[in-house]
């Protein structure tokens, strides 16, 4: 569908021919490729955030809803997991499967959305880049709602563009057009899903959507504002949960203020995911700037107003969320790259629109194709490099604990927020019915022998860390001379490292010390302690 019916209008599609069998087959093949890329690392160890999704889904339905007052963000993922875990178990692959499916589904969703903004080439470039985007691939393998956010954003922008189009074709009487009603309902549903996936995402999407609605005319703008009232009603429970959660603790206490390192981290994660190859990020930025810059130069003049308008909407979708949160974070830290993952499809759409604008010239066709091919090649390279990346590896440490630690033997955990991940791999740290224990929720007792600590400004009711010499000595006496210390996700800016603190100094002076370390996790056993 070609976006922009009027010379001075904003994106508003007109009906296009139906998708051909060949196109359908190609789109299916692209979706299969996206799915395959998103299944390369499903068996890696659970990251702590993922274990919270699983812990929520293990509660009864009523208890899970009640606990949303602690975990208001990303609630949709646990809701989806709730029936799946009861039917098929809690394997790592199963827990991540909804994210994989949503990530793969985002590719045809963006193809459909991009068809509202431009020609077929726009749709194929945008969908192809999203299929291989390293950030989208990585978070489609994480048991959190980030890939749901990407999918909901694609559906919301596509539904809004379609609704505005039908509204204009009906002369402002969209209520008389069945397709228009369906599009508005779809838009509200997609935006509600976006909000329930990520509290930041829905408001961050509104500026780009406002551009769409404003350029479509006053009647369309009023219809859009009415749809936002319906969205607000849908999100009232979420707002209540978020308010209660915010009154209990600040889940963003660990975020840094904006500086050069944070900006570079955002660039690298959007362009290279977790590949840890800085050259990929900078090359991707350079190629993208060349592609968009040349497209803007070729879109000068009144005749190109429609093309520029479409690119402005895509740029607002793809860039404004990051810029806005980075700016706010100079004062109040709110930014982390994954919090603005809804921008990824907007950036892919911007690249598609830019390539389409350049492609119209026979002389520029080859450079445009080269830029798109370079972006895809860099993304595929990053996908391959990040395949073996692991945020936390609990299996080696958990295996040592399971083999050597008698149930109930005194164990210090700093930070206590990692208890659900530890419990997933060592049943002695689960509840008796197999549920993962989240100390902050206080709905289940801590495992026998466990003493938890936290960062100074972290949340939960356990004491602030690091543990003192008196604490480890008392626990060693209780354990007949043996005590364990498990360290993970400690913010050394908020407290000193427990591995080098007073507790470890006492252990080395009075005990025989053994340690095991894996990615993101460190464990120590102090035995034969005296004094």
Interval 374-396: pLDDT, tens? 999 999 999 999 999 999 999 99
- Looking at the fold, whether 219 and 299 belong to one and the same domain comes out as yes
Domain region containing 472: 395-527
Q: Under 8 Å CB-to-CB from 242, ≥6 apart: which residues?
A: 72, 73, 199
- Looking at the fold, whether 232 and 249 belong to one and the same domain comes out as yes
pLDDT band, residue 169 (cuts 50/70/90): low
Q: If you ran DSSP here, which 8-state letter would residue 511 be given?
A: S
- Looking at the fold, whether 198 and 101 belong to one and the same domain comes out as yes
- Residue 11 covered by a domain: no
Q: What is the DSSP string of 236-290?
A: HHHHHHHHHHHHH--TTTTPPPP-HHHHHHHHHHHHHTT---HHHHHHHHHHHHH
- Looking at the fold, whether 202 and 281 belong to one and the same domain comes out as yes
- Looking at the fold, whether 368 and 415 belong to one and the same domain comes out as no
pLDDT band, residue 20 (cuts 50/70/90): confident
| pLDDT at position 364 | 74
Q: How many domains does the chain have?
A: 2
- Does the pLDDT at position 65 exceed 90? yes
Where is the domain boundary, 335, 356, 386? 386
Q: What pairs with residue 514 in β-bridges? A: 525
- Looking at the fold, whether 313 and 360 belong to one and the same domain comes out as yes
Q: Which is higher by pLDDT, 173 or 81?
A: 81
- Residue 4 covered by a domain: no
- Residue 170 covered by a domain: yes
How far apart (Å, rounded) are the C-alpha atoms in residues 181 and 187? 10
- Residue 301 covered by a domain: yes
Q: 143 by DSSP, 3-state: which?
A: coil
Please give the torsion angle defined by the CA atoms of residues 3, 9, 10 and 13, in that order, rounded to the nearest 10 degrees: -20
| pLDDT at position 13 | 45
How far apart (Å, rounded) are the C-alpha atoms in residues 36 and 43? 14
| pLDDT at position 531 | 76
| pLDDT at position 290 | 94
- Looking at the fold, whether 340 and 483 belong to one and the same domain comes out as no
- Looking at the fold, whether 149 and 172 belong to one and the same domain comes out as yes
pLDDT in tens, 331-367: 999 999 999 999 999 999 999 999 998 887 777 788 8
In percent, the amount of the chain with pLDDT more than 90 equals: 83
- Does the pLDDT at position 397 exceed 60? yes
Average pLDDT of span 55-72:
96
- Residue 405 covered by a domain: yes
Where is the domain boundary, 351, 386, 421? 386
pLDDT band, residue 178 (cuts 50/70/90): low
- Looking at the fold, whether 343 and 424 belong to one and the same domain comes out as no
- Looking at the fold, whether 409 and 435 belong to one and the same domain comes out as yes
- Looking at the fold, whether 306 and 204 belong to one and the same domain comes out as yes
pLDDT in tens, 260-318: 999 999 999 999 999 999 999 999 999 999 999 999 888 776 557 778 889 999 999 99
Extract the tokens encoding 387.
């395949």
pLDDT in tens, 276-291: 999 999 999 999 999 9
- Residue 9 covered by a domain: no
Q: Which is higher by pLDDT, 2 or 103?
A: 103
- Looking at the fold, whether 424 and 468 belong to one and the same domain comes out as yes
- Residue 7 covered by a domain: no
**CB-based contact 106:151 (threshold 8 Å):** yes
Report CA torsion sign: 421, 424, 426, 427.
Answer: positive
Least confident of 39-43, 363-367, 462-466: 363-367
Where is the domain boundary, 386, 414, 443? 386
| pLDDT at position 11 | 46
The mean predicted confidence, pLDDT, of the chain is: 92
- Residue 13 covered by a domain: no
pLDDT in tens, 100-134: 999 999 999 999 999 999 889 999 999 999 999 99
């Amino acid at each position: 569908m070609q976006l922009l019916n009027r010379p001075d209008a904003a994106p508003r599609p007109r009906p296009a021919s139906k998708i051909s069998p060949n196109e359908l087959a190609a789109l299916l093949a692209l979706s299969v490729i996206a799915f395959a890329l998103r299944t390369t690392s499903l068996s890696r160890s659970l990251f702590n955030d993922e274990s919270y999704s699983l812990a929520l889904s293990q509660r009864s339905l009523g208890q899970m809803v009640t606990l949303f007052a602690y975990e208001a963000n990303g609630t949709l993922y646990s809701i989806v997991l709730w029936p799946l875990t009861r039917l098929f178990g809690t394997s790592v692959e199963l827990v991540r499967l909804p994210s994989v499916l949503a990530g793969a589904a985002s590719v045809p969703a963006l193809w459909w959305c991009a068809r509202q903004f431009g020609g077929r080439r726009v749709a194929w470039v945008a969908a192809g880049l999203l299929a291989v985007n390293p950030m989208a691939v990585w978070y489609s393998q994480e048991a959190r709602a980030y890939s749901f956010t990407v999918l909901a954003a694609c559906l919301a922008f596509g539904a809004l563009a379609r609704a505005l189009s039908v509204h204009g074709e009906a002369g402002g009487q969209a209520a008389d057009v069945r397709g228009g009603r369906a599009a508005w309902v779809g838009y509200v549903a997609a935006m509600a899903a976006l909000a329930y996936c990520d509290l930041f995402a829905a408001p961050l999407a509104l500026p780009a959507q406002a551009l769409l609605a404003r350029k479509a005319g006053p009647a369309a703008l009023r219809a859009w504002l009415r749809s936002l009232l319906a969205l607000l009603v849908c999100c009232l429970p979420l707002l209540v949960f978020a308010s209660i959660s915010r009154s209990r603790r600040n889940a963003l206490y660990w975020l840094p203020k904006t500086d050069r390192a944070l900006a570079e981290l955002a660039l690298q994660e959007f362009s290279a995911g977790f590949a840890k190859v800085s050259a990929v990020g900078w090359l991707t930025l350079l190629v993208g700037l060349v592609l968009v810059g040349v497209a803007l130069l070729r879109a000068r003049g009144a005749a190109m107003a429609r093309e520029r308008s479409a690119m402005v909407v895509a740029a607002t979708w793809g860039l404004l969320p990051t810029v806005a949160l980075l700016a706010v974070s100079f004062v109040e830290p709110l930014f982390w790259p994954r919090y603005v993952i809804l921008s990824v499809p907007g950036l892919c759409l911007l690249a598609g629109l830019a390539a389409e604008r350049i492609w119209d010239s026979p002389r520029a066709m080859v450079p445009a194709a080269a830029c798109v091919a370079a972006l895809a090649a860099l993304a595929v390279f990053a996908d391959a490099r990040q395949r073996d990346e692991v945020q936390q590896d609990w299996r080696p440490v958990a295996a040592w604990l399971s083999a050597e630690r008698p149930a109930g033997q005194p164990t210090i955990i700093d930070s206590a927020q990692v208890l659900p991940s530890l419990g997933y791999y060592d049943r002695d740290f689960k509840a008796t019915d197999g549920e993962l224990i989240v100390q902050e929720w206080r709905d289940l007792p801590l495992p026998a022998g466990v003493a938890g600590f936290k960062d100074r400004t972290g949340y939960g009711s356990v004491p602030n860390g690091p543990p003192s010499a008196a604490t480890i000595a008392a626990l060693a006496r209780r354990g007949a001379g043996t005590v364990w210390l498990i360290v993970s996700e400690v913010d050394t800016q908020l407290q000193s490292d427990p591995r080098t603190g007073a507790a470890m100094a006492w252990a080395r002076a009075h005990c025989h010390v053994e340690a095991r370390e894996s990615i993101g996790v460190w464990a120590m056993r102090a035995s034969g302690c005296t004094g």
